[in-house]
Amino acid sequence: MDRIVIDGAHVVTVSGQEHPGGHVVVEGNRITSVGPGPAPREDGPHRRIDAAGCLLTPGLVNTHHHLYQWVTRGLAVDATLFEWLTTLYPVWAGIDEDAVHTGATGALATLALSGATTSTDHHYVFPRAGGDLLGAEIRAAARVGLRFHPTRGSMNLGRSAGGLPPDEVVEDHDAVLTASAKAVADWHDPAPDAMVRIALAPCSPFSVTGELMRDSAGLARELGVRLHTHLAETADEEDFCRERFGCTPTRYAADLGWTGPDVWFAHTVHLDDDAVATIGSTGTGIAHCPTSNGRLGAGIARVRDLVDAGAVVGLGVDGAASNEGTSLVEEVKHAVLFARAVGGPRALGVREALRLGTLGGARVLGRDAEIGSIEPGKLADLALWRIDGLGHGDVADPVAALVLGAPPPLRLLLVDGRPVVEDGRMCTVDTEEVAARCAEVHHDLVAKAG
């Protein structure tokens, strides 16, 4: 049906209003009505959903991922970041189009089942014989049905030049820029209802030269796309930048032109007060990845300080090799728990955390005029959660039930007005078939790496 009426849900718009027993009407791919009480009587064909006992939120927005890692999970589980990377790079050197498409399908389907309607991806490993890896994950996103913001990543500072990655997975400076421009030309859609947008994303200060960072920023701004990289994830990175560049990671990035509302950083765990002020004053975006940061022992990002300083903060699951669960709704919960663990019970509220996972993420990706809140005229990217069961039915606050409780059953996920999940099951892919294929690819990659 082109028209869907959701009636009787507790509607959390995230833009400031909540409607217990409220309604939302969707026509095509847009929200046309939001409000308290039942929806106005609809004439003509439509699908009506009795959403009593449910919570309706905007779809969650994932601002950092490495989708191919879905088929390399469970390795180096007790390692530091640099140890983990050293272990995984030889495995990742074997990826190809099939591995990336398979891993991306598994990871994106899992994200959808956790309430995500939009995801980015930071793909920076391009083995020479790998094929069209960016195209492989874009096709996977279309198959699963999520709105997708992949980034054309890069590494050109191999081990022989003092970087961390092995030489066989790094690229030449000029080749990176050529491939980046081609990715934008081939895939980027600037339209307001775009399902695919591209950003440029050199990997990190310890895997990319300063020249490539600077030139990528110039190219992105020339082409009108956004910029993304890892920054200040671990104390090791802080030591690397101070030893090699004589400054903090944030100062290094700022000196290369990497701050501003068109830039977002992943992690930013190790920031001093000057770094927080720089990121905040420039309106730079942050992808906060609490689960991955905990899994790798990287630390806890200063989310409260960043938000108060003016930074644009969203949430990310990070790569599935450092967050084997890949549940975005759990990142909302972990953002609350991590912030309160270091800052006390008022460091981050449950509604504030939900806002980070929805409208905050949309702002990070430059899509807050179109997604991230439930308002007439916005795109119909919505998550309908069952909160009337044993795990949630007697929780006094419906938002707390979602954020602090166990992940509730997902009754419906709409992306661009189309059902992607219904009653906890994918509408678009056979998850058992995808899981079996992911296991095959995992074993092949590990065997190939020896």
Q: Model confidence over 95-116: pLDDT tens digits?
A: 999 999 999 999 999 999 999 9
Q: Please tell me the pTM assigned to this model.
A: 0.97
Structure confidence at residue 378 (pLDDT): 98
Of 29, 60, 114, residue with least CA distance to 360: 60
How far is the C-alpha of 204 from the C-alpha of 304, rounded, in Å? 24
Residue 299: left (phi > 0), alpha (psi -120 to 50), or beta? Answer: left
Contacts of 290 (CB under 8 A, 6+ apart): 300, 301, 315, 331, 334, 335, 337, 338
**Which residues is 245 bridged to in the sheet?**
none
Structure confidence at residue 81 (pLDDT): 87
Distances (CA, A) of 98 to 90, 167, 190, 319: 18, 23, 28, 18
Looking up tokens 């678009």, which residue turns up? Answer: 428
For every one of its 450 residues, what pLDDT tens digit does the chain have, with 9 covering 90 and above? 589 999 999 999 999 999 999 999 999 999 999 999 999 887 788 999 999 999 999 999 999 999 999 999 999 999 988 899 889 999 999 999 999 999 999 999 999 999 999 999 999 999 988 999 999 999 999 999 999 999 999 999 988 988 788 888 899 999 999 999 999 999 999 999 999 999 999 999 888 999 999 999 999 999 999 999 999 999 988 998 999 999 999 999 999 999 999 999 999 999 999 999 999 999 999 999 999 999 999 999 999 999 999 999 999 999 999 999 999 999 999 999 999 999 999 999 999 999 999 999 999 999 999 999 999 999 999 999 999 999 999 999 999 999 999 999 999 999 999 999 999 999 999 999 999 999 999 999 999 998
Cα–chain-centroid distance for residue 334? 15
How far is the C-alpha of 433 from the C-alpha of 450, rounded, in Å? 26
Q: What is the dihedral of CA 169, 173, 174, 178, to 10 degrees?
A: 60
The predicted-structure confidence for 397-426, as pLDDT tens digits, reads as follows: 999 999 999 999 999 999 999 999 999 999
Three-class SS string for the chain?
A: CCEEEEEEEEEECCCCCEEEEEEEEEECCEEEEEECCCCCCCCCCCEEEECCCEEEEECEEECCCCHHHHHHCCCCCCCCHHHHHHHHHHHHCCCCHHHHHHHHHHHHHHHHHCCEEEEEEEECCCCCCCCCHHHHHHHHHHHHCCEEEEEEEECCCCHHHCCCCCHHHCCCHHHHHHHHHHHHHHHCCCCCCCCECCEEEECCCCCCCHHHHHHHHHHHHHHCCEEEEEECCCHHHHHHHHHHHCCCHHHHHHHCCCCCCCEEEEECCCCCHHHHHHHHHHCCEEEECHHHHHHCCCCCCCHHHHHHHCCEEEECCCCCCCCCCCCHHHHHHHHHHHHHHHHCCCCCCHHHHHHHHHHHHHHHCCCCCCCCCCCCCCECCEEEEECCCCCCCCCCCHHHHHHHCCCCCEEEEEECCEEEEECCEECCCCHHHHHHHHHHHHHHHHHHHC
Contacts of 273 (CB under 8 A, 6+ apart): none
How far is the C-alpha of 104 from the C-alpha of 202, rounded, in Å? 20
Looking up tokens 């790998």, which residue turns up? Answer: 130
Structure confidence at residue 1 (pLDDT): 57
Structure confidence at residue 364 (pLDDT): 98
